[in-house]
Chains A and B, each alone.
Chain A
């Protein structure tokens, strides 16, 4: 088990994770700019290379593998910008991470109020 993981199956975004994920997060931070979002869409792999992502990080970006990106040092706040670029809501991302459809994920949220 990764030391940065707590028993709740949550990756704690701490110093070691922030070090591991710095370039990945820096790339996602760039997505605040519309021009960067366009550049990424034009050539995703080349854009990852420009920021020096590792091979694993690049593969996870290309596969939209959010859980793996968290393992590889991604911060959810920056990954949210990546998701936004893909046109995904946080419920879509929730579904992707939990293996549910977006609708099932939304249902789960509604049930939390019962």
Chain B
């Protein structure tokens, strides 16, 4: 059976992509942020997972408000990136995966998660920034990706507990796939931030650190939060915790924390990084 060998949580802020475009990684603003990534890259390089299941949210590239799925999953051989309107350079296509993707889809529907299935999808910075952060210099092209998009843009959004359960269902599906391939799960986005309104710039370090601790030791402690609670406590875009919860849900039971970092600010955001391994 396929095996989940680990999971990574990382922020996906567009400014990270721009900084990489411009080679700013070692400048004073960026150094502490980027210096946290080599241990995770090294681990990925040692483990050589075959497939990455990536929980992310689309910010108006593929999914406009006309047709915006609550949960969507890709089943395509390739995913392209494109101009998002504010200056981040599109990256070369991401390699897709269809066999495990369809196995997950069949299992999700059987599990009463009626996801939108995408046989063609343009992926935005929510997915591409983590890929280039974790596998720089187009190394990301060697890993097969299954994107899973969660609506974090328009309310109503899935409850945080529901995103966790989606992750659990996907985790079970992966582990029931008759294959010897290995899988890493990525949760991207967050942590606390608010871009809009008079409260723009709100960051809650204490809450972010609390979430990062609970994601390791007791994720179910976070499942009581509503999206309104997260908006209040972590800012309007703090609801992106959904992807970290889905990532953690995919890992059954206890985990080892192999690496973590938390850095303020990256753009308007408290930026988190976490590498987990099943026990």
Contacts and interface: CB of A to CB of B under 8 A. Distances in A.
B153 to A, nearest CB: 6
A52 to B, nearest CB: 14
Interface string A87-102: 0011101100110000
A9 B197 contact: yes
Interface stretch (B95-103, B111-119, B170-178, B200-208): B200-208
B205 A112 contact: yes
B264 interface: yes
Given A14-B154, A32-B61, A77-B153, A112 B265 contact: yes
Interface string B242-279: 00000000000000000000011101101000000000
B221 interface: no
A29 B205 contact: no
Interface string B226-256: 0010011000110000000000000000000
Interface stretch (A42-50, A57-65, A78-86): A78-86
Interface string A8-31: 111111110010001001100101
Contact of B264 (A18, A26, A112): A112
Given A32-B83, A78-B60, A108-B201, A97 B65 contact: no
A113 B86 contact: no
Contacts of B120: none
Query: For the side of the interface on B, what is the size category?
Result: 35 or more
Given A10-B236, A94-B201, A97-B197, A32 B268 contact: no
Given A13-B155, A77-B59, A81-B60, A98 B85 contact: no
A105 B96 CA distance: 40
Nearest to A112: B203
B264 A113 contact: yes
B205 A84 contact: no
Contact of B196 (A11, A29, A109): A11
A109 B156 CA distance: 28
A60 B39 CA distance: 47
Contacts of A89: 15, 267
Nearest to A69: B196
A1 interface: no
Most buried by A among B59, B61, B65: B65
Query: For the side of the interface on A, what is the size category?
Result: 35 or more
Contacts of B25: none
A67 B60 CA distance: 20
Contacts of B168: none
A31 B201 CA distance: 24
B43 interface: no
A34 interface: yes
A93 B65 contact: no
Contacts of A98: 198, 200-201
Given A9-B197, A76-B195, A112 B60 contact: no
Q: Which 5 A-B pairs have the closest CB atoms?
A: A84-B86, A113-B264, A81-B85, A76-B196, A112-B203
27 contacts: A9-B198, A10-B196, A10-B199, A11-B196, A11-B197, A14-B155, A22-B65, A29-B60, A31-B85, A32-B61, A32-B82, A32-B84, A33-B83, A77-B60, A80-B86, A81-B84, A81-B86, A89-B15, A90-B15, A94-B200, A106-B265, A108-B201, A109-B201, A109-B265, A112-B201, A112-B205, A113-B264
